[in-house]
A and B are shown apart, each in its own frame.
Chain A
Amino acid sequence: METVVFAVLNGVIYGLLLFMLSSGLTLIFSMMGVLNFAHASFYMLGAYFAYTLMEGSNFWIALFIAPVLVGLAGMVVERYGLRKVHARGHVAELLFTFGLAYLIDEVVKIFWGRTAVNYKVPELLDFPLFTLYGAQYPAYRIFILLVAILMLVALWYLLRRTRAGLIIQAALTHPHMVGHLGHNVPMIFMMVFGAGCALAGLAGVIGGNYFITDPAMAVQMGPIVFVVVVVGGLGSLEGAFIAAMIIGLLQTSAVSINASLADIFGFLGLAGTSEVGGITIASMAPMLPFLLLVVVLMVRPTGLMGDREV
């Protein structure tokens, strides 16, 4: 019971962080039809910006300023990079963002070094919030939960209940018509790209000190975010949410299961001493998202909630 509760709590938090990343990616995808390979790099930038801002000010200022800075960086990338490549098709765009991810990685290494930086949880939140089954639960995790939910609600409100959201939704499906109505569609695209990057940056600000802030964080997170977006169904925010939750729960609960394959498939004659039998579920955790990706694509090529086939 104890393990289950902790696995669910941590899984939900991890899932919400994943959704924060993949929501931006999904928005950008449905807008431009391109998966932004550098999306996780913006997540990393968010963490590093916050770390630097925290040295000069405090966490709360960083929490607001860092995502804005990341969003501005995203806008610059869209305006002066992606827009140029856009005319040459999706593969060129994908390659451009791939190269960009490479560049951001290297630039981060120049500015902040090759090893992890000491990006700490703010003191105000660095205390155990409650005790559960004799184990203390850090307040910062609940803070992440709150920020993520707040962002979720804000995003939903913005997209579904405001005029700006209406225009964005229209521009996603009928850019020409929206253009004819007098809206500046390239500008909308730039703003949405920036907002998506800002969301990734926010995930970096609150995730960077929860996990670890080092130059490898983009490479670790990037592929998982893609899995979330593809499994959820390309272009579907609801699907991305469900997929993020599934993967979050799957990975965190797998880590806490110590059983090996032999314990599960022992009835088939799989011995614990054999190589396959000796593999524990916990050690398979990093593979699970990709396994899920392959299975979903084989069984349901549209993803969970997507309307277009992958």
Chain B
Amino acid sequence: MTDMTTTYVDLAPSRAEKFRQRVLPMILFALALAVIPLFGPSRSTLTLLNHMGINIVFALSFNMLLGRAGMLSFGHAVYLGLGGYFCVHVMNWIAADTGIWGAVPIFTMPAFGFGAGALAGAVIGWPSCRRAGTPFAMISLGVAELVAAAGFMFDSLFGGEMGISADRMGGPEFLGLSLGPLNEVYWYIAFWTFVGVVGTYAFTRTPLGKLSEATRDNPERVEFVGYNPQRVRYLVFIFAGAFAGMAGGMSAVQDEIFTPENLSLVPSGAILIAAYVGGIRYFTGPIMGAIVMTYMGSNLSDYTAGWLLYLGLMFVGVVMFVPDGIAGVVYGTWDVLRSGRLNEVAAGWAIRLLGLALMAVSTITLVEVAFRWSDGYGEVFEPFGLELAHGSPLTWVVIVLPFVIGALLLRRVARSESEVTS
């Protein structure tokens, strides 16, 4: 009992590790952003990419609340909307050349959105950040309804149903970008997406960012250590509002219009789904979720009328079975591949994939047949030349059989895995 340990194991990451884990991914991300235009994307692809950028920043700001601080907000679009509205007004002042506004480049819009979002967060967050959990979620819902209703009431601020539009071509040019053609808007979005990603990541490294995670896990202990959890939540809320407002500024330049719909529960719900499906426990989760959801939102709707239903099914599926989301699956797979345990789990994975595929076949058939039946145009779902009318027995075989087999397979895998672990 005499000799105390005097040497400490240095647990801090080495410089090389720091570089590999923190700086390198950012460099790769910047490179990816820079390389994309070399492929000569079409106008619609550019629009899609721009919206992805906006949603990435928006989802990351949302995850500052849900993933990091454990605050579930049903009204996060309020801050994007208010930030965006402010930017639209600023753009109009720039176009009208009032006062000093004539000298402000449109390129700086997200900075204004950042400020407006922070202000909105500071005002609205004060009454709503007292508690976390369900009460906070309910208050955010009420506030969102209130702001959206006010949006339809004050026409001079929000433009009523028509919204307020602006022109992104005004003001002085910045870095030689006139922001007229879409590929120039891409550079603008890419720049601010990068700023948003770096900014939100840097926030997780600050003492406040760390404290927010501590507050999520155990607010009582945070209080013992001498911090005020309410205050931590409030500050995090302001920053989350600010980054959402920044996304609003990006959106104001890309779409050149904001309507009170942008403030409503619909976009708030969409970003919640995107962030959660992506995986809220990982920093990169919301990025993946935003990319996947934006892509699905713009492309899947061309293929099927039921894409919202698929979205809902996917969300419920993730909540029930894959709480770590897409990022969890990606990192889990990567871990297995790297540690060379692939052949141990390969059989289980194969069965699971097969089961999921069978269930997907069944669900897709059911949804598609149902939608065609509901439209009443007499259209028939014909995948791969099969004619699946809603009355034909074949349809029901295709729906029921794969579902039952898939469910049984998944159940078997889940059982055998729980036996291994226990």
Contact = CB atoms under 8 A, between A and B. Distances in A.
Interface of A: 33-35, 81, 84-85, 88, 90-92, 94-96, 98-100, 102-103, 105-107, 109-111, 113, 219, 223, 226-227, 230, 234, 275-276, 279, 283-284, 286-287, 290-291, 293-294, 297-298, 301, 309-310
B96 interface: no
29 contacts: A33-B134, A35-B137, A84-B320, A88-B323, A91-B137, A92-B319, A94-B137, A95-B319, A96-B319, A99-B312, A103-B313, A106-B312, A107-B309, A110-B309, A113-B374, A223-B142, A223-B145, A227-B142, A287-B150, A290-B145, A290-B146, A291-B146, A293-B142, A294-B139, A294-B146, A297-B127, A297-B139, A301-B130, A310-B139
Interface in B304-323: 306, 308-309, 311-313, 315-316, 319-320, 323
A81 B269 CA distance: 20
B309 A99 contact: no
Contacts of A283: 153
Contacts of A287: 145-146, 149-150, 153
B142 A91 contact: no
B411 interface: no
Nearest to B310: A106
Given A33-B134, A95-B72, A275 B142 contact: no
Nearest to B308: A106
A279 B72 contact: no
B146 A226 contact: no
A84 B317 CA distance: 12
Nearest to A284: B153
Contact of B323 (A33, A92, A230, A293): A92
A252 to B, nearest CB: 17
Binding site of A, secondary structure by majority: helix, strand, loop or mixed? helix
B276 interface: yes
Nearest to B131: A310
A102 B269 contact: yes
Binding site of B, secondary structure by majority: helix, strand, loop or mixed? helix
Contacts of B309: 103, 106-107, 110
Contacts of A95: 72, 272, 276, 315, 319
A121 B128 CA distance: 42
A35 B153 contact: no
B149 A290 contact: yes
A81 B154 contact: no
B127 A298 contact: yes
Which of B134, B143, B273 gathers most chain A CB within 10 Å? B134
A99 B315 contact: yes
Nearest to A33: B134
A294 B142 contact: yes
A171 to B, nearest CB: 20
**Nearest 3 pairs of A and B residues by beta carbon:** A102-B312, A99-B316, A106-B309
A56 B138 CA distance: 40
B85 to A, nearest CB: 16
B421 interface: no
A230 B135 contact: yes
Contact of A275 (B133, B145, B155, B370): B155
B187 interface: no
A290 B135 contact: no
B143 A96 contact: no
A298 B145 CA distance: 17
B121 to A, nearest CB: 15
B150 A226 contact: no
Contacts of B203: none
A223 B306 contact: no
Nearest to A112: B374
Contacts of B142: 223, 226-227, 230, 290, 293-294
Contact of A35 (B127, B134, B316): B134
Contact of A279 (B70, B133, B143, B153): B153
Contacts of B134: 33-35, 90-91, 94, 234
